[in-house]
């Protein structure tokens, strides 16, 4: 049984490493809230979405969704546009 919070922290690290290596960090807005959605880890994704919905967001920061498959980031959904992160998930 995976601990969703721990897994999300891990995915966050994986995403940031990947964006850094791929030179994609500048794609992120200055301020944002990140929602990590591993599409093949239902419990983790459900928790991530629930926390994103429950968390207060007084500054109105945009949400950035990161879609993962097999533990790898595949797509970033940014405000108004998208970034393909990995050429192929599998």
Q: What is the DSSP string of 6-73?
A: HHHHHHHHHHHHHHHHTT-GGGS-SS-EEEEEETT-HHHHHHHHHHHHHS--TT-PPEEEEEEETTEE
Q: Is residue 8 a contact point for its own copies (CB under 8 A)?
A: no
CB of 4 to its own copies, least distance (A): 12
- 16-35 binders of its own copies (CB under 8 A): none
11 binds its own copies (CB under 8 A): no
Within 40-59, the residues that bind its own copies by CB under 8 A are 40-42, 45-46, 49-50, 53
């Amino acid at each position: 049984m995976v601990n969703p919070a721990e897994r999300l922290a891990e995915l966050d690290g994986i995403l940031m490493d990947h964006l850094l290596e791929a030179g994609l960090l500048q794609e992120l807005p200055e301020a944002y809230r990140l929602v990590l959605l591993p599409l093949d880890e239902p419990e983790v994704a459900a928790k991530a979405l629930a926390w994103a919905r429950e968390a207060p967001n007084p500054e109105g920061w945009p949400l950035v969704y990161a879609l993962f498959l097999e533990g790898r980031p595949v797509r970033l959904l940014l405000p108004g546009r998208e970034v393909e992160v990995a050429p192929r998930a599998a």
